[in-house]
Amino acid sequence: MQKEALLKGPPPLPPTPSRGGEGAGDGAGAAERIPSRIENPDELMKPLTRGNFPLLLGLALVGHVVFFGLTSINFIQLCFKYKSLHPMVQVRKELREAEEMRLQEARSKALEKFMPKQAPTPAPQPSQKEPAKEEPKADTKRETTERKKSKIERTTEEKSMERPKEATNPLEDVRGIE
C-alpha cells in the first residue's frame, strides 16, 4: 500500500474559493475578481474620515506637545531668565566664573596655610646715629655690574662684532654664480 501511495504522488490541492465568481480559477476575468468597493477612492478613504481618526490624531498631537513642553521647562525658564534663545552660552560663562572664584579662594587659603601672615614692621626712619651711606665709586659700580653678568655675556662683549671678510663655508661663496 505504501508503494502505491508513493507512485501516485501527492494528493491534489483542494479548490480555493474565489471572490469574483465565474471564471476565477482559469486566470481569465481578473478584473471581475476585484471587489467593486475598491474601485471607488472614496470607499478607500472612508475609514480615515470616520470620527475616530481625526480625534485620535488630535490627541496624539496634544500628547506630543505636552510631552515636549514638560521636558523643556528648564530650558524655557533659562530663556526667560537670560532673555535669549541661546541661554547655554551665558550659563557656561557663569559656571566658568564661579569655578575661577572657587580656585582663587582655594589658592588664597593654601597661601595662608603655607605662608603665615607676618606682622607689618614699621619702616625704619633714618636717624642721626646711623652714618649716611655713601654712593659706590664708578669703578666699584662697574665691577658689581660685571659680576652680575654671566660668563657668556662677558665673552661676547670682549669679542669684536666684525663680520669675516671672506666666507668660510664654501656653500656661501656666490662669486661664481653671477
Domain count, the chain: 2
Q: Does 145 fall in a domain?
A: no
Look at 159 and 20; give whichever has higher pLDDT.
159
For the stretch 28-78, pLDDT in tens is 555 555 555 567 778 777 777 777 878 888 999 999 999 999 999 999 999
Q: Does 96 fall in a domain?
A: yes
Q: Does 154 fall in a domain?
A: no
Quick one: average pLDDT of 147-175? Answer: 73
- 107 is in which domain, residue-wise? 84-115
How far apart (Å, rounded) are the C-alpha atoms in residues 178 and 171?
Answer: 14
The answer to whether 18 and 33 have CB atoms below 8 angstroms apart is yes
Q: Does 21 fall in a domain?
A: no
For the stretch 123-156, pLDDT in tens is 666 655 555 555 555 555 555 555 678 888 888 8
pLDDT band at 24 (very low <50, low <70, confident <90, very high): very low
Q: Does 1 fall in a domain?
A: no
Q: Does 142 fall in a domain?
A: no
Whether 89 and 67 map to the same domain: the answer is no
DSSP type of residue 135 = P
Q: Does 143 fall in a domain?
A: no
Look at 64 and 164; give whichever has higher pLDDT.
64
pLDDT band at 2 (very low <50, low <70, confident <90, very high): low
Q: What per-residue confidence (pLDDT) applies to 104?
A: 94
Whether 37 and 59 map to the same domain: the answer is yes
Q: Which of 94, 93, 76 is nearest to 85 (CA)?
A: 76
Q: What per-residue confidence (pLDDT) applies to 148?
A: 78
Q: What per-residue confidence (pLDDT) applies to 75?
A: 92
Whether 38 and 66 map to the same domain: the answer is yes
> Which three cell numbers mark 1?
500500500
For the stretch 87-116, pLDDT in tens is 999 999 999 999 999 999 999 988 888 776
Ramachandran region, residue 23 (left: φ > 0; alpha: ψ -120 to 50; beta: rest): left
Q: Is the pLDDT of residue 161 over 80?
A: no
Q: Does 12 fall in a domain?
A: no
pLDDT band at 80 (very low <50, low <70, confident <90, very high): very high
